[in-house]
Structure 1
């Protein structure tokens, strides 16, 4: 109960500081935080993008990757599913420190609400195992890892073929202006 009160306090701080972004983030996330037990009972599942399932099936597949443009297209598909790679510089989104602090408070409030709601489930670990939710979570993590491995492999392949980013890491510069196609 204390964590729920903590979550409500953080929620009030996040929404009361005046950031439209934080208030919107909390408003959009409260539903997901409150319905988190649906994940435990395997009534709601996280979607696994097709590109990650394909990467899990064969992360080192080189079919149809004979040009830099096709390698880049595949890396972009993986970026869309996974978010930016670790070699990408952080984007300066123009937010000020106070706005980032409000966003962090909003995330903390949502985490506290989610934890409070799921703490009421007795035998939660067993329910997750029996319902298949635990297995699905492992499948999601496996697909994410395979997608990351594939993206790294593709960027290495792009460097080998002298491709410009995004078919190679963002810091890589092809050896000549007319890089390989």
Structure 2
């Protein structure tokens, strides 16, 4: 007889009930994210590795590179590339998606279900932190975090440079309004 941890048993009973209550949308989101959540142990064993976007590697190499940044359009294009890799900056308001309270609840339930699946799949790995260190997964995770931090630093530098050149957003922070005529 296979014995499951209390967390796995709770998940086995709670997950179907939550998805039934949440409706089809949440179930679809869980279905789409299930593979990533279920394969989290492969990340811990350093078998599956996410690629770091080139724009973040470039930022990591030289976050203050000012070459060819003499036009607002060039700065804006570089900021957009970073936004694509990192998501929106903190100064940008979230895009209005017109979702209802029910849809937002379904999203939250789906996220909770995926977190529970991810937790359940990683709970069975004994000495997980040691395994992550021995397989190099922890070092890889640090590389990814460093690249993300360099990308954020570069984006902040670019927006500061854009403000100095009197550029409109996205080449400057979202709240900034150029005075007079901005550079193109």
State TM-score, norm by structure 1: 0.93
Tell me, which stretches of 5 or more residues in structure 2 are unaligned?
none
The 3 A distance-change label for structure 1 pair 8 and 100 is farther
Give yes or no for the alignment of 1:167 onto 2:171.
Answer: yes
**Which residue number corresponds to residue 62 of structure 2?**
58
User: Counterparts of 1:122 and 1:72 in 2: how far apart (Å)?
Assistant: 47
User: Counterparts of 1:105 and 1:173 in 2: how far apart (Å)?
Assistant: 39
Of the structure 1 ranges 8-17 and 73-82, higher mean CA displacement relative to structure 2 is found in 8-17
The answer (yes or no) to whether the contact 2:22–2:109 under 8 Å persists in 1 is no
The answer (yes or no) to whether the contact 1:10–1:106 under 8 Å persists in 2 is no
Tell me, which stretches of 5 or more residues in structure 1 are unaligned?
none
User: Counterparts of 2:15 and 2:67 in 1: how far apart (Å)?
Assistant: 50
The answer (yes or no) to whether the contact 1:59–1:146 under 8 Å persists in 2 is yes
The answer (yes or no) to whether the contact 1:22–1:102 under 8 Å persists in 2 is yes
**Which residue number corresponds to residue 180 of structure 1?**
183
The answer (yes or no) to whether the contact 2:19–2:109 under 8 Å persists in 1 is no
Give yes or no for the alignment of 1:133 onto 2:137.
Answer: yes
**Which residue number corresponds to residue 75 of structure 1?**
79
**Which residue number corresponds to residue 47 of structure 2?**
43
State TM-score, norm by structure 2: 0.92
Counterpart selection for 2:88 from 43, 68, 84:
84
The 3 A distance-change label for structure 1 pair 10 and 26 is farther
The 3 A distance-change label for structure 1 pair 101 and 18 is closer
> Structure 1: which 4+ aligned runs deviate by more than 4 Å?
none
State the aligned residue count. 180
Give yes or no for the alignment of 1:28 onto 2:35.
Answer: no
Query: Once superposed, what is the RMSD of the aligned Cα atoms?
Result: 1.4
1:5 deviation in Å?
3.4
**Which residue number corresponds to residue 16 of structure 2?**
12
